[in-house]
């Protein structure tokens, strides 16, 4: 017996092999399907997808044998990866000096072998797709063509698996980074709230205590400072709500009726202008995440009030219960959203450039938070709007038993 030689590029070859993360992994149906098909086409009892490790031949897929690995120094595949032929063939191993006293031949009665080296795009032989038989023979042309074609499919599966592994690692890395950013944003936002509150209070104290020595321009500056502090405080509050939305959406569901929820929303908004809010005609008890739904309505109804230029604000809220989800619709007679901005408004920090009733610009956080909450509740959200006339926002929320089958 002659042991297979070690390739000149062995270190680089092993490094390339390990990048695929295939060694010591469980069987995969795609590869097992190929080895079964190869055995059938070539009319042999054994077919393998092998990977040549440092000192062993790992059988990633094996048809006709139970083994998952064998010593590399007695492997036929070790010879295959250094041979320059498209298919390395041994018609009768008993008559070949390299294999005549090989344990695979003498103990397992393996006589015939044909293997295709699995060479990746970088030129490294990772292993083989091979077949064995217990009698001397040759493959016909169609069988050889099939073996070569299926070896390409094995390599394609390797590459897909490698890319999927990279994507999973990247997703994990991004997820961890996102968690870190959320924690950072939360800490910074909380830490900034107190200084801002101090600035607001200090502005009022300065105006009250030193009003006789501060001229009108100075008072104007103090008012500007206070207004800017409130704006930044609202911005930070929005950020905190956005980054907390995942936690809010993960809370347990509970039973409550729609009118009670909406009445609480109206109380929280403390509306002091002419505003008519029409609830759904029927007061239905539903079961879902109340805290998340409350935050959604606070944002949407609040926007309908803020971004409205009519003397009397009219907001209509409708509700429908479907088999797997709840559908809500909020319509108003506000300033509307341009058609080219209707998809953009759900992106974080995206605004349409309009100012609210008090002349303040939005920060582009509220609707992004709403969409995040709706998605986490298994629903979808959409907008229909006419500039200067109305805006209709529809969204669904999955019932307690799963995600909705349909959406707005």
Give the pLDDT of residue 43: 96
Give the pLDDT of residue 254: 85
Q: Which comes out higher in pLDDT, residue 41 or 213?
A: 41
Specify if 204 maps to a domain: no
Specify if 205 maps to a domain: no
Specify if 195 maps to a domain: no
Domain boundary among 152, 167, 182: 167
18 with 153, same domain: the answer is yes
Mean pLDDT of 12-30: 94
138 with 267, same domain: the answer is no
Tens of pLDDT, residues 47-102:
999 999 999 999 999 999 999 999 999 999 999 999 999 999 999 999 999 999 99
Give the pLDDT of residue 90: 96
Distance CA 294, CA 292 (A): 5
Specify if 189 maps to a domain: no
Give the C-alpha distances (Å, rounded to integers) separating 325 from 194, 221, 289, 372.
41, 52, 13, 17
Specify if 254 maps to a domain: yes
| Residue 131, burial from CB neighbour count under 10 angstroms (0-12, 13-18, 19+) | buried
Q: Which comes out higher in pLDDT, residue 122 or 352?
A: 122
273 with 381, same domain: the answer is yes
Domain boundary among 107, 134, 167: 167
259 with 120, same domain: the answer is no
Give the pLDDT of residue 248: 65
Domain boundary among 142, 167, 192: 167
Give the C-alpha distances (Å, rounded to integers) separating 172 from 23, 270, 322.
22, 43, 36
Structural domain boundaries enclosing 57: 10-167
Give the pLDDT of residue 333: 95
Specify if 266 maps to a domain: yes
**Is residue 358 predicted with pLDDT exceeding 90?**
no
Give the pLDDT of residue 406: 41
Give the pLDDT of residue 244: 65
Tell me the CATH number at 385.
3.30.565.10
140 with 274, same domain: the answer is no
Is 0.85 topped by the overall pTM? no
Question: Smallest Cα–Cα separation from 295: which of 227, 220, 371?
Answer: 371
Tens of pLDDT, residues 309-347:
999 999 999 999 988 899 999 999 999 988 888 888 888
285 with 153, same domain: the answer is no
Give the pLDDT of residue 56: 95
3-state secondary structure the chain: CCCCCCCCCHHHHHHHHHCCCCCCCCCCHHHHHHHHHHHHHHCCCEEEEEEECCCEEEEEEEECCCCCEEEHHHCHHHHHCCCCCCCEEECCHHHCCCCCCCHHHHCCCCCEEEEEEEECCCCCEEEEEEEEECCCCCCCHHHHHHHHHHHHHHHHHHHHHHHHHHHHHHHHHHHHHHHHHHHHHHHHHHHHHHHHHHHHHHHHHHHHHCCCCCCHHHHHHHHHHHHHHHHHHHHHHHHHHHHHHHHHHCCCCEEEEHHHHHHHHHHHHCCCCCEEEECCCCCCEEEECHHHHHHHHHHHHHHHHHCCCCCCEEEEEEEEECCCEEEEEEEECCCCCCHHHCCHHHCCCCCCCCECCCCCECCCCHHHHHHHHHHHCCCCEEEEEECCCEEEEEEEEECCCCCCCCCC
**Is residue 166 predicted with pLDDT exceeding 90?**
no
- C-alpha triplet 374, 376, 377: angle, nearest 5°: 65
> Residue 269 — very low, low, confident or very high, per pLDDT cuts 50/70/90?
confident
159 with 260, same domain: the answer is no
20 with 161, same domain: the answer is yes
Specify if 209 maps to a domain: no
Specify if 199 maps to a domain: no
Q: Which comes out higher in pLDDT, residue 254 or 280?
A: 280
Average pLDDT in the chain: 87
**Most confident range, picked from 40-49, 238-247, 268-277, 290-299:** 40-49
Distance CA 332, CA 318 (A): 12
257 with 381, same domain: the answer is yes
Domain count, the chain: 2
Tell me the CATH number at 72.
3.30.450.40
266 with 138, same domain: the answer is no
Tokens linked to 206: 């300065």
């Amino acid at each position: 017996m002659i042991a297979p030689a070690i390739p000149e590029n062995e270190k680089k070859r092993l490094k390339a092999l390990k990048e695929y993360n295939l060694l010591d992994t469980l069987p995969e149906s795609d590869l097992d399907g190929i080895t079964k098909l190869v055995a059938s086409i070539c009319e042999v009892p054994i077919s393998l997808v092998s990977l040549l490790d440092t000192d062993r031949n790992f059988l990633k897929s094996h048809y006709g044998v139970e083994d998952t690995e064998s010593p590399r120094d007695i492997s036929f595949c070790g010879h295959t990866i250094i041979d320059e032929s498209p298919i390395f063939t041994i018609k009768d191993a008993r008559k070949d000096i390299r294999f005549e006293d090989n344990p695979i031949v003498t103990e397992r009665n393996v006589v015939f072998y044909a293997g295709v080296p699995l060479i990746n795009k970088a030129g490294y032989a990772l292993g083989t797709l091979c077949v064995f038989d217990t009698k001397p023979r040759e493959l016909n042309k169609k069988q050889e063509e099939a073996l070569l074609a299926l070896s390409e499919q094995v390599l394609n599966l390797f590459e897909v698996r490698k890319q999927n592994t990279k994507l999973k690692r990247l997703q994990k890395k991004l997820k961890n980074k996102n968690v870190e950013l959320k924690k950072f944003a939360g800490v910074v936002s909380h830490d900034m709230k107190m200084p801002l509150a101090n600035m607001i209070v200090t502005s009022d104290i300065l105006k009250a205590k030193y009003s006789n020595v501060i001229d009108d321009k100075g008072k104007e500056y103090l008012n500007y400072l206070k207004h800017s502090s409130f704006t930044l405080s609202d911005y930070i509050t929005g950020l905190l709500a956005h980054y907390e939305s995942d936690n809010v959406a993960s809370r347990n569901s509970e039973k409550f009726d729609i009118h009670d929820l909406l009445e609480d929303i109206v109380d929280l908004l403390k509306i002091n202008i002419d505003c008519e809010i029409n609830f759904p005609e029927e007061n239905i008890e539903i079961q879902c995440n109340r805290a998340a739904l409350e935050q959604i309505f606070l944002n949407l109804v609040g926007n309908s009030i803020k971004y409205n230029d009519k003397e009397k604000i009219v907001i209509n809220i409708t509700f429908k219960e479907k088999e797997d989800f709840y559908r809500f619709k909020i319509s108003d007679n506000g300033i509307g959203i341009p058609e080219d901005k209707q998809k953009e408004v759900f992106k974080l920090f995206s605004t349409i450039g309009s100012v609210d009733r008090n002349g303040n610009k939005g920060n582009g956080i509220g609707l992004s938070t709403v969409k995040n909450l709706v998605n986490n509740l298994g629903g979808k959200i959409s907008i229909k709007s006419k500039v200067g006339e109305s805006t209709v926002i529809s969204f669904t929320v999955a019932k307690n038993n799963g995600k909705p089958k349909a959406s707005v």
